Amino acid sequence: MKHFFFVILSLSIFSVSQFTFAESCGEADPNIIIIITQNGNNLEVTFSDAEESPVGVSFEMVVGGATLADPNLSTIDGDFNTPIDWAFDNQDDPNNFANGSQTPVAQIGAPGVAALGSNNFSVSAGALGADTGISGAIATIVLNGPASSVALSPDCTRGGVVTENGVEMDVEFVFAPCLGICPTCPGDCNGDGITNVFDLSCFAVLLQTYGLPPFYNINYNPCDDPGDICIDLNQDNVINVFDLSQFSLLLQTNGLPPFYNVVCP
């Protein structure tokens, strides 16, 4: 029996959490987790914790705030090697099953590759003669900008996610927007890997040079500027004088003289 569910997510790309969408089907079919990770303009599709190896993956995606870039920029990855809809459009191409060289994005409700500029499309990939295992890469979807919202559902027209025995799998979708993880230490404005009084002058110069009065706001995108999350100490997605006060408190509370070095967590 086919299992239908629809989950919608509307969220800012500046979110710093990971969001999970689980469907309940009521039958004890094999389970799988499909993870969509936002990385700048790309959506990286992977899977994990599969109770059986998937050989076919098809799900629909509706993207807000961005559209599909040139479909040929998106790729099938990992052990998946069958660009089903690209092959449909290019039946005379002798390389139409070359691993990773063709696109996994497909039209909704009809065979063939999705069009440039689409915001509603399927991700469809197969693994002919390959053992995909319990985890791995599936595809990379290239957009024309970071997504501001994502809606996901199995593409039941194409069979959803199936095992080599043709059994449909129960899917848990996980969407991971840009996580905004500081690559060094919180408060490390000058990027030397240490938070201390020398970052205070860096803060001041940064606000004076780029900040907009009255609070000397500097807007940033953690997808494009992951290092800036280090100095957005109150994590409101704006660097301003309020972060400067948080920085001073950080040094006073946790800094070790003489330079008030803060031990990274």
Tens-digit pLDDT profile for residues 108-119: 999 999 999 999
**247 and 203 in contact (C-beta within 8 Å)?**
yes
Angle between helices 241-254 and 198-210 (to 10 degrees): 180
CA distance 122 to 61: 6
The pLDDT of residue 185: 84
For tokens 């070095």, the residue is: 261
The pLDDT of residue 6: 26
Q: Let me know whether 137 and 228 are in one domain.
A: no
Domain boundary residue, one of 159, 176, 193? 176
What are the angstrom distances between the C-alpha of 238 and each of 186, 212, 246, 256?
A: 15, 11, 13, 28
CA distance 80 to 233: 41
Spans of the chain below 50 pLDDT:
1-26, 28, 99-100
Residue at 13 is within a domain: yes
Q: Let me know whether 172 and 214 are in one domain.
A: no
Q: Let me know whether 87 and 198 are in one domain.
A: no
Q: Let me know whether 213 and 170 are in one domain.
A: no
Amino acid, single-letter form, for residue 53? S
Domain of residue 56, residue span: 7-176
Beta pairing class for 149-154 and 105-106: unpaired
CA distance 6 to 28: 19
Domain boundary residue, one of 131, 158, 176? 176
Q: Let me know whether 45 and 169 are in one domain.
A: yes
The pLDDT of residue 265: 64
Q: Let me know whether 151 and 213 are in one domain.
A: no
**161 and 45 in contact (C-beta within 8 Å)?**
no
Residue at 1 is within a domain: no
Q: Let me know whether 153 and 184 are in one domain.
A: no
Q: Let me know whether 217 and 106 are in one domain.
A: no
The pLDDT of residue 179: 57
Residue at 2 is within a domain: no
CA distance 144 to 108: 19
CA distance 118 to 66: 9
Q: Let me know whether 135 and 245 are in one domain.
A: no
Domain count, the chain: 2
**207 and 240 in contact (C-beta within 8 Å)?**
yes
Query: Nearest 10 degrees: CA dihedral of 66, 149, 99, 101?
Result: 0
Query: Nearest 10 degrees: CA dihedral of 61, 64, 70, 75?
Result: -40
Q: Model's pTM, two decimal places?
A: 0.64
Tens-digit pLDDT profile for residues 64-107: 889 999 999 999 988 998 888 998 888 877 665 554 458 999 99
